[in-house]
Amino acid sequence: MATGQKNPSFVYLAAIFAMLFWGLSFIWTTIVFDYYQPVTTIFLRLAISSVFLFAGLLLAGKLQIIRKEHLLLILLSAVFNPFFYFIGENFGLKYSTPSITAVVIATIPLFSPVAAWMMIRERISLLNIIGIFISFTGIMFMLINPDFSLSASPAGILLLLFAVVSAVIYSVFLKRLTQHYSPVNIIAWQNLIGVILFLPLFLFFDLEGFLQVRPDARLLTALFSLAVFASSLAYILFTYTIRQLGVSRANVYSNLIPVITALASWYFLDEVFNIQKISGIIIVISGLVLTQIRKIKRS
């Protein structure tokens, strides 16, 4: 832990609540899908989050204006996340299940070093390579039934993989941006750019359907939970965790996301879990943990 931290229990609570919000985000998204299409869901989620984050930054006097030399970098980062990432994640979730989606998305920290090695030649460890193969085996174990049929739509699986690729490329851009701006400012500006990018899609494809929906308490609760807890507070809490524990130790907590999503899917959405699906989740998480062991010992 970072030297001088006075309340270590708060750090761990911050990490756990960040993972709780992200784990529940797949449940909240599934609920919103009962009312809106994915593009509308993403657009509203980002719009509400942007208002929340910019209001907080303005009230705290912490808003940073993006400098001219970084405009292209912030734009490229926002294209990959939230634009490409949310297209892959939300449409993948629509054609899959919350538990499968959470497990696939949880592999992002696993593949990020691969992107760093390919794009900026950062060293990749043997443990990371082994962990990738183990986690990939676990994903296949979840997706392929005993009769060799798929437990999720092929389109859904490809879209989720597209989200993972988008996120790992985004992580390289993010690393450069964090040298100049605070994480909360980066998220706020990226979400705002995401709103602008999704606006034409929303107006062209979803506006008519959006106007026909009469919001009720169930929809509004899920939508505002997505925007405030998953797209705003979770990032703030996780950023605090990274500052106190370091990236490697903080990333270990991401292994909780598939577990939280699986339990919430079973409880709230009556998703069925068999031995095969449970075993696949355990295998994937084992691969993720393996890649962090050596890093944790060093920190």
Residue 2 has pLDDT above 50, yes or no: no
Answer for the pair 23, 259: CB distance below 8 angstroms, yes or no. Answer: yes
In a domain, 3, yes or no: no
In a domain, 148, yes or no: yes
In a domain, 1, yes or no: no
Q: Per the structure, how many domains does the chain have?
A: 1
- Work out the number of other CB atoms within 10 angstroms of the CB of residue 9: 7
Answer for the pair 230, 98: CB distance below 8 angstroms, yes or no. Answer: no
Locate 143 and state its tokens: 């997706």
Instruction: Say which residue, 190 or 259, is predicted with more confidence.
Output: 190
Q: Residue 234 burial by CB count (10 A; 0-12/13-18/19+): exposed, middle or buried?
A: buried
**Interval 87-113 mean pLDDT:** 85
In a domain, 250, yes or no: yes
Q: CB-based contacts of 82: which residues, under 8 Å, 6+ apart?
A: 42, 46, 190, 191, 194
Interval 211-251: pLDDT, tens? 999 999 999 999 999 999 999 999 888 878 877 776 666 76
The domain in which residue 53 lies consists of 8-298
Interval 22-51: pLDDT, tens? 999 999 999 999 999 999 999 999 999 999
In a domain, 294, yes or no: yes
Residue 296 has pLDDT above 60, yes or no: no
Q: CB-based contacts of 197: which residues, under 8 Å, 6+ apart?
A: 78, 79, 83
Locate 148 and state its tokens: 């060799």
- DSSP label at 144? B
Specify which of 40-44, 152-156, 174-178, 266-270 reaches the highest per-range mean pLDDT. 40-44
For residue 4, what pLDDT is reported?
45
Locate 103 and state its tokens: 């497990």
In a domain, 2, yes or no: no
Please tell me the distance from the alpha carbon of residue 299 to that of residue 296, in angstroms, as a whole number: 5
Cα–Cα nearest to 33, from 80, 111, 96, 77 = 96
Q: CB-based contacts of 292: which residues, under 8 Å, 6+ apart?
A: 248, 249, 251, 252
Residue 100 has pLDDT above 70, yes or no: yes
Locate 260 and state its tokens: 């939280």
> If you average pLDDT over every residue of the chain, what do you get?
84
Interval 48-73: pLDDT, tens? 999 999 999 999 999 999 999 999 99
**Interval 108-123 mean pLDDT:** 66
Mapped onto helix, strand or coil, the DSSP state of residue 31 is helix
Answer for the pair 139, 107: CB distance below 8 angstroms, yes or no. Answer: yes
In a domain, 281, yes or no: yes
Cα–Cα nearest to 25, from 261, 194, 273, 192 = 261
Instruction: Say which residue, 260 or 159, is predicted with more confidence.
Output: 159
Please tell me the distance from the alpha carbon of residue 86 to that of residue 92, in angstroms, as a whole number: 9
Residue 262: alpha-carbon gap to chain centroid: 16
For residue 249, what pLDDT is reported?
66
